[in-house]
């Protein structure tokens, strides 16, 4: 019995030190509900949190008086949690809003523990109350920002998907070993290959032999952080050739490349060169004849 008394005194002293430290923090309010008298005592911070007179709060008020300040929508969940504590000894943790005259709604988080007698009847219910209004405000702001960010990401994704699917140019994700990772629908339109005929295949399976070296040089340059530009010839699925002008930029472990069909320009340039050469030969012949 003597040892138990000393233990009780040590616990009381420790509890008093804890209460003093918490009260001085200006953040946490302490409350102590004597169930048999139905008086709930609160410290200075608890009184300020509820917007009540300090002396009467310390002296004790009924639980019903405190509940008068709780927003009506939050009363039922609060009472349910209190009943759970009294009936089942459950941990007490609840958030609710306080309506303080002349002020904005105030969010409170309460934690507590019930002490019962030998028969299991509630005797004392003590705990802490913390003003979490700012936390709720920040959480709401963060939720709004996340929703806005998700909306923007969805919009940008839709825009990029539309660009990817509708671009007339060849779009390509290619790794630094020259293997296709992803292609857009323009590959089917321009070269006749379906995506599964291209993805996981090496670029030089589709480039003419004479242009292999240029393709290798391009993806190796990207692997070292360069920005390759290359023009090479691709085989159409029907066997014909297409000239494609590429620009690419590396990011992470792959390159993002755009290819433009320049076959018509190349054919036009070749035809123009042939015409110019024919004109020069004709002029030579005229000069010899004269």
| Alpha-carbon gap, residue 90 to 113, rounded angstroms | 8
| pLDDT at 13 > cutoff 70 | no
Kindly report, residue by residue over 205-216, the tens digit of the pLDDT: 999 999 999 999
**Res 4 pLDDT > 60:** no
Q: What would the pLDDT profile of 128-182 be if each residue is shown by its tens digit?
A: 999 998 888 888 888 888 888 888 888 888 998 999 999 999 999 999 999 999 9
Query: Which CATH architecture does the domain made up of 2-137 adopt?
Result: 2-Layer Sandwich (3.30)
* Mean pLDDT rounded to a whole number for the chain: 87
pLDDT (0 to 100) of residue 12: 62
**Cα separation, 190 vs 109, whole angstroms:** 64
Q: Which residues contact 252 (CB under 8 A, 6 or more apart)?
A: none
More confidently predicted of 9 and 47:
47
Contact 206, 191 (CB under 8 A): yes
Contact 273, 267 (CB under 8 A): no
- The CB density around residue 28, as the number of other CB atoms within 10 Å, is 20
Cα gap 91→112, rounded to integer Å: 7
User: Does the global pTM surpass 0.85?
Assistant: no
- What pLDDT shows up at residue 24? 46
pLDDT for position 39: 93
How many of the other CB atoms lie within 10 Å of CB of 285? Answer: 10
Topology of domain 166-270 in CATH is Beta-Lactamase (3.30.450)
Task: State mean pLDDT over 109-137.
Answer: 89
Count of other CB atoms within 10 angstroms of residue 244: 24
pLDDT number for residue 26: 44
Domain spans of the chain, in order of start: 2-137, 166-270
Identical fold for domains 2-137 and 166-270, yes or no, is yes
- CA atoms 134, 98, 50, 30: torsion sign: negative
Residue 22 has pLDDT above 50, yes or no: no
pLDDT in tens, 223-257: 999 999 999 999 999 999 999 999 999 999 999 99
> pLDDT tens for residues 268-289?
877 777 777 777 876 777 767 6
User: Which alpha helices (DSSP H) does 95-239 contain, by range?
Assistant: 133-166, 186-191, 212-223
Question: Which of 22, 9, 7, 8 is CA-nearest to residue 111?
Answer: 22
Give the DSSP letter of residue 179.
Answer: B
């Amino acid at each position: 019995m003597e040892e138990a008394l000393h233990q009780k005194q040590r616990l009381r002293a420790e509890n008093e030190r804890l209460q003093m430290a918490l009260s001085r923090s200006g953040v946490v309010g302490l409350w102590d509900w004597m169930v048999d008298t139905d008086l709930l005592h609160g410290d200075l911070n608890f009184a300020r949190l509820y917007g009540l007179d300090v002396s009467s709060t310390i002296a004790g008020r009924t639980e019903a008086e405190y509940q008068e300040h709780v927003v009506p929508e939050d009363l039922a969940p609060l009472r349910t949690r209190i009943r759970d504590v009294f009936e089942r000894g459950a941990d007490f943790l609840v958030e609710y809003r306080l309506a303080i005259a002349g002020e904005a709604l105030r969010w409170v988080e309460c934690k507590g523990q019930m002490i019962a007698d030998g028969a299991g009847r509630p005797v004392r219910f003590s705990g802490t109350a913390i003003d979490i209004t700012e936390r709720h405000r920040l959480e709401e702001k963060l939720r709004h920002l996340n929703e806005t960010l998700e909306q923007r990401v969805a919009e940008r994704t839709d825009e990029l998907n539309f660009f990817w699917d509708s671009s007339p140019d060849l779009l390509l994700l290619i790794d630094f070993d020259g293997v296709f990772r992803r292609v857009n629908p323009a590959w089917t339109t321009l070269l006749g290959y379906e995506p599964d005929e291209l993805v996981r295949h090496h670029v030089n399976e589709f480039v003419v032999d004479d242009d292999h070296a240029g393709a290798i040089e391009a993806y190796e340059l990207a692997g070292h952080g360069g920005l390759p530009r290359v023009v090479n010839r691709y085989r159409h699925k029907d066997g014909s050739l297409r000239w494609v002008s590429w620009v690419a930029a590396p990011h992470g472990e792959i390159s993002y490349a755009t290819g433009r069909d320049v076959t018509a320009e190349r054919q036009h340039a070749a035809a123009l060169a042939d015409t110019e050469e024919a004109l020069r030969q004709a002029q030579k012949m005229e000069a010899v004849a004269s």
